[in-house]
């Protein structure tokens, strides 16, 4: 999968892809994440990408021209399955949406800023609008990272068996059960007996499998 992220603050999004599971996904070539500084497509020497809204009112609006130029450039290089605008008025991100996006090849994420983007960008290019919750962030960058994380971890080969996405909360409309690890008692707080019994049984099976597979049912 390839994700192209368009933003006026790409540097805000670099670290999540430089650590742990997302880093490994990128290193293994399972996900490619490309950042694009929107100002590189601005016109004029001030690298302007926003302007005052027609009709007045507070706040600035992201201009159509740099965004259109940037998306048109990207689209001339490959086909995109979705051009997603991160915005608080989009559909709320869910595991179902992440699952759907995880089977796509090429995605563009557009991060909004200021009051939002010129409506004509939405009409012309945006195929899907996604919000990560009913609150307003300073821009779409953190939302883009959340969406990329939720999608990339579902790609085949990104998680190993132990981390398997199939046992995630929400994947089967069930929340995860409580989990425990050693020690079995900490400051009087005990791991439920039943789990210890299960663990002992699993260990017995494992050792038998290793040493005497002939006697296993």
Residues binding ligand ADE (CB under 6 A): 86-88, 112, 131-133, 135-137, 139-140, 143
The total of other beta-carbon atoms located within 10 Å of residue 134's CB is 8
CB-facing half-sphere around the CA of 199: CA atoms within 13 A: 11
**Cβ proximity of 128 and 82 under 8 Å:** yes
Rounded least distance, CB 129 to ligand ADE, Å: 9
Q: What is the nearest approach in angstroms of ligand ADE to the Cβ of residue 125? A: 17
Closest distance to ligand ADE from the beta carbon of 135 (Å): 5
The residue (of 53 and 139) whose beta carbon lies closer to ligand ADE is 139
* Nearest residue relative to ligand ADE (C-beta): 143
Shortest spacing between CB 114 and ligand ADE, in angstroms:
10
C-alpha distance across the termini of the chain, in Å:
43
Q: What is the nearest approach in angstroms of ligand ADE to the Cβ of residue 203?
A: 45
Query: Considering beta carbons, is residue 84 or 158 the nearer one to ligand ADE?
Result: 84
C-beta of 7 vs 131, nearer to ligand ADE = 131
State whether residue 194 is helix, strand or coil.
Answer: helix
Tell me the C-alpha distance between 27 and 17, whole Å: 10
* The dihedral sign for the CA sequence 60, 127, 17, 87: positive
Question: How would DSSP label each residue in 57-124?
Answer: -SS-EE-HHHHHHHHHHHHHHS--SEEEEEEEEEEEP-HHHHHHHHT-SEEEEEE--TT-B-HHHHHH
- Closer to ligand ADE at the Cβ: 110 or 159? 110
Q: Which is nearer to ligand ADE, 5 or 159 (CB)?
A: 5
C-beta closer to ligand ADE: residue 86 or 159: 86
Region for 130 from its dihedrals, namely left if φ exceeds 0, alpha if ψ lies in -120 to 50, beta otherwise: beta
Least distance from ligand ADE to the Cβ atom of residue 62, Å? 12
């Amino acid at each position: 999968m390839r994700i192209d992220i368009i933003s006026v603050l790409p540097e805000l999004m670099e670290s999540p892809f430089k650590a742990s599971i997302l880093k490994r996904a990128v290193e293994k070539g399972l996900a490619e994440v490309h950042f694009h500084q929107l100002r590189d497509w601005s016109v004029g020497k001030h690298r302007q990408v926003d302007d005052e809204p027609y009709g007045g009112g507070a706040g600035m609006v992201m201009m159509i021209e740099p965004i259109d130029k940037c998306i048109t450039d990207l689209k001339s290089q490959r086909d995109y399955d979705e051009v997603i605008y991160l915005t608080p008025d989009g559909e709320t991100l869910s595991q179902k949406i992440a699952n759907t996006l995880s089977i796509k090849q090429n995605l563009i994420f557009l991060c909004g800023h200021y009051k939002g983007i010129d409506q004509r960008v939405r009409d012309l290019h945006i195929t899907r609008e996604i919000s990560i919750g009913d609150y307003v962030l300073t821009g779409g960058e953190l939302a883009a990272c959340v969406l990329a994380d939720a999608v990339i971890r579902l790609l085949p080969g990104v998680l190993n068996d132990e981390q398997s996405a199939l046992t995630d909360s929400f994947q089967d409309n069930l929340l995860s059960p409580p989990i425990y690890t050693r020690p079995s008692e900490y400051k009087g707080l005990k791991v439920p007996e039943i789990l210890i019994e299960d663990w002992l049984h699993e260990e017995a099976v494992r050792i038998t499998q290793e040493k005497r597979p002939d006697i296993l049912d």
